[in-house]
Amino acid sequence: MNLVVVSNRVSRGKPNEPMTGGLAAALLPVVEKTGAIWVGSSGRVRDGNLKEPFAEVEALGAGALAMLDLPAAHYGGYYEGFANSALWPAMHSRADLIRASREDYASYREVNAFMARALLRFRKPDSVFWVQDYHFLALGAELRDLGVTQPIGFFLHTPWPARAVIAGVPNHRELIEAMLSYDLIGFQTDEDCENFLSYVQHDLDFEVRDGVINSSFGRTRAAVFPIGIDPGKFAQQATKAMTHPDVTRLRRSLNGEKLAIGVDRLDYSKGLVNRIKAFDKMWTLHPNLKRSVSLLQIATPSRGAIEAYGNLQSEVAKLVTDVNGVHGEVDWTPIRYLNKGFGQGVLAGLYRTAQVGVVTPLQDGMNLVAKEYVAAQNPADPGVLVLSKFAGAANELDAALLVNPHDIDGMARTLATALAMPLTERRMRWEAMMEKLNSGTIQQWFADFIEALQDTHNAGNAALPEPPTLWPRRTADFAARYH
């Protein structure tokens, strides 16, 4: 099997560089170990008249990384536009933030078509294609239009929302019909998978039986594959990181004070505003916790060119200043707020230093930070995870202290409970969570998906009818412009 993994974001595997998001963090070890070729965006763009999509290819462990320059005319409409201003808010049930123009949708389709053409260069008779995430909902259909008959799987890293929310995305119907060219569609949770199937059944009117969709586009299976981490590797990194200068300086600065840690992209789905309000409330309700616990919030800049993200950045910065102004002392800062990223080797040590890990998204596909925090703990004296029940991770990590991120008072109370939790209870909860992490590793996720994809394809599910015209054929226009 020649595995071709496709995603917008890739990682070059530089150990000291921060990961940009969980997708890249999760796929990196998989590509390095399995020898797959990973194709994604180089982050650069190119003007038209390309003879051939330009890819820079380099080795990545046993595998390879092919970074593609995307078409300059369509990049903004694709990434900041349709993908992150229409699909991302919809997937996170923020219909109020959906912004989409016809041009953005056209650019999104152009980039999907561009990627399909670029992938042909990596196709071999025994290739298996595995497409990642909402940036490429239509890539499978584009590949089929180009004559690809090999297995094509798709995994969605974000949640899939209720029918009424996805219906707020312009062109939702043709996009979801395009998804039915995939042999297998993977989701993070049962709820995501059920929401998707409910749309297919009730809005597209296709028959669904035992997760298999029979449609005029062929047969597609939908199933759940919760993404994991490599807990052993994280535990090792955490032990090693305790002597890293950043970690030793942090520990020295704490002077015996307890630490809570939050690590998130600066994204409205992550619940940062409510989290900071909950800390404010906690210090107000429990003044004894002033000086005895502070919050280290790492908020890595993300998608800064999009208005909703710019607004959030200002809102969070102001809130942190206000809370520090109210509760701070001349020699004590309640919230240490950092707008930068750390390599995972350091991050693991920061997690291990903190007595409480605070992961309180309003919606999150999985949230790997929650899993990493648990794996990085000292087994003899583990910290407590406070976790939103709306993170995909809550399905497995139900031994965390689960909170409703909309209930600020409730979160404040839970934070106080976490800080006071006795060692025996901390250990019991941590052991239960580690058991889950060890049985759902990233290696297992990969193996389960690829096995299911090959089974589904071999079972004849990919017997395709004539390629449907879902979209006025854009590939031809595209070819004329770029080749």
Ligand X SMILES: O=P(O)(O)OC[C@H]1O[C@H](O[C@H]2O[C@H](CO)[C@@H](O)[C@H](O)[C@H]2O)[C@H](O)[C@@H](O)[C@@H]1O
Active site residues: 157, 364
Least gap, CB of 478 to ligand X (angstroms): 23
350 binds ligand UDP (CB under 6 A): no
Give the CA distances from residue 185 to residues 167, 223, 270, 444, in Å, rounded to whole numbers and listed in that order. 19, 6, 25, 17
Instruction: Please report the DSSP string for 140-168 in residue order.
Output: HHHHHHTT--S-EEEE--S----HHHHTT
Sheet containing 384-388: order of strands: 335-338, 293-300, 258-265, 356-359, 384-388, 401-403
Binding mask 399-428 for ligand UDP (x = CB under 6 A): ------------------------------
Q: Which is nearer to ligand UDP, 146 or 273 (CB)?
A: 273
Tokens read off for 408: 């600020």
Site for ligand UDP in 359-398 (CB under 6 A): 366-369, 372
Q: Does the footprint of ligand X cover residue 375 (CB under 6 A)? A: no
Of the candidate residues 3, 4, 9, 77, the single one contacting ligand X (CB under 6 A): 9
Distance (Å, whole) CA 364 – CA 357: 16
Residue 21 interacting with ligand UDP (CB under 6 A): yes
Shortest distance, CB of residue 419 to ligand X, whole angstroms?
26
- Decide: is 360 part of the binding site for ligand X (CB under 6 A): no
Of 111 and 369, which has the nearer Cβ to ligand UDP? 369
Query: Does residue 372 belong to the site contacting ligand X (CB under 6 A)?
Result: no
Q: H or E element: which one contains 39?
A: strand 37-46
**Nearest CA among 320, 282, 285 for reference residue 299:** 320
Q: Going by DSSP bridges, is the β-strand pair 356-359/384-388 parallel, antiparallel, or unpaired? A: parallel
Matching residue, tokens 């650069």: 44
341 belongs to the binding site for ligand UDP (CB under 6 A): yes
Binding partner at 357 among ligand UDP, ligand X, none, C-beta below 5 to 8 Å by kind = none
Residues across the chain: 483
Per CB under 6 A, the list member of 41, 344, 353, 475 interacting with ligand UDP is 344
Question: Which residue in the set 109, 157, 281, 327 belongs to the binding site for ligand X (CB under 6 A)?
Answer: 157
Minimum distance from CB of 448 to ligand X (Å)? 14
SS3 385: strand
171 interacts with ligand X by CB under 6 A: no
Give the integer Cα–Cα distance in Å for 458 and 416.
53
Binding to ligand UDP (CB under 6 A): which residues in 444-463?
Answer: none
User: Closest Cα to residue 347, out of 373, 311, 308?
Assistant: 373
What strand order describes the sheet that includes 184-187?
55-60, 63-71, 37-46, 2-6, 127-132, 152-155, 184-187, 218-224, 212-215, 207-209
CA distance 467 to 331: 68
- H or E stretch covering 246: helix 245-254
Residue nearer to ligand X on the CB measure, 22 or 405? 22
Judged by CB under 6 A, the residue of 143, 235, 278, 368 near ligand X is 368
Supply the DSSP symbol for 355.
S
Toward ligand UDP, which CB reaches closer, 90 or 152? 90
Residue 127 C-beta: closest distance to ligand X, Å:
22
Closest CB to ligand UDP among 105 and 234? 234
Of 79 and 342, nearer to ligand UDP (C-beta) is 342
Q: Which does 344 bind (CB under 5 to 8 A by kind): ligand X, ligand UDP, none?
A: ligand UDP
The footprint of ligand UDP on residues 288-307 (CB under 6 A) is: 298, 300
Find out whether 61 and 89 touch, Cβ atoms under 8 Å.
Answer: no
CB 208 within 8 A of CB 200: yes
Pairing of strands 384-388, 152-155: unpaired
Select the binding partner of residue 9 from ligand UDP, ligand X, none (C-beta < 5 to 8 A, by kind). ligand X
**Cβ-closest residue to ligand X?**
21
Smallest separation (angstroms) from ligand UDP to the CB of 287: 32
Q: How far is the CB of 330 from ligand UDP (least distance, A)?
A: 30
Is residue 19 near ligand UDP by the rule CB under 6 A?
yes
Question: Helix or strand or coil: residue 131?
Answer: strand
Distance of CA 8 to CAs 70, 111, 210, Å? 10, 10, 31
| Given 158, 189, 195, 237, the residue binding ligand X (CB under 6 A) | 158
Verify binding: residue 195, ligand X, rule CB under 6 A: no
Rounded (10°) CA dihedral 254, 259, 264, 270: -140
Residue 159 touches ligand UDP, criterion: CB under 6 A: no
Closest distance to ligand UDP from the beta carbon of 316 (Å): 15
């058991």: which residue's tokens?
435
Residues in contact with ligand X by CB under 6 A are 9, 20-24, 26, 133, 157-158, 227, 302-303, 364-368
Residues in contact with ligand UDP by CB under 6 A are 18-19, 21-23, 25, 263, 265, 298, 300, 341-342, 344, 347, 366-369, 372
